[in-house]
Amino acid sequence: MDWLILISSGALEAVWATALSASKGFRRWRPALLFVVSMIASMAGLAVAMVTIPTGTAYAVWVGIGAVLTVLLSAIRREERITWARAGLLMLLVGCVVGLKAVS
């Protein structure tokens, strides 16, 4: 259950990072509000998961999931291009996250 909370919190990290960018320096209130709500939920989920998952592993998984999903969201929104090199590195990052889960 804690791993599910951690994965969800990592996904919320991508939401708040994307909302922060969309808020244009907190000048747009809807994305700014989404940023605040999703950031609080993401941090709370990380804190809950860290009760049973080692801190280093939990943080690495949380950041890895958030980073990969943030790049994918940016690509979907056509703000970034995913090159072959980026795709390979993102797959490597996902592999490392899965590996951390496997050895924990």
Rounded Cα gap, residues 47 and 6, in angstroms? 9
- Boundaries of every domain in the chain: 2-103
Tens-of-pLDDT digits for all 104 residues of the chain? 888 999 999 999 999 999 999 999 999 999 999 999 999 999 999 999 999 999 988 999 999 999 999 999 999 999 889 899 999 999 998 898 888 778 87
Distance CA 30, CA 89 (A): 33
Q: Report pLDDT for 42.
A: 97
Give 39: exposed, middle or buried? Use CB within 10 Å, 0-12, 13-18, 19+.
middle
The length of the chain is: 104
pTM recorded for the entire structure: 0.84
Q: What is the DSSP letter of 28?
A: S
Token couple for 36: 């605040």
pLDDT of residue 12: 97
Q: Cα angle at 62 between 30 and 4, to 5 degrees?
A: 90
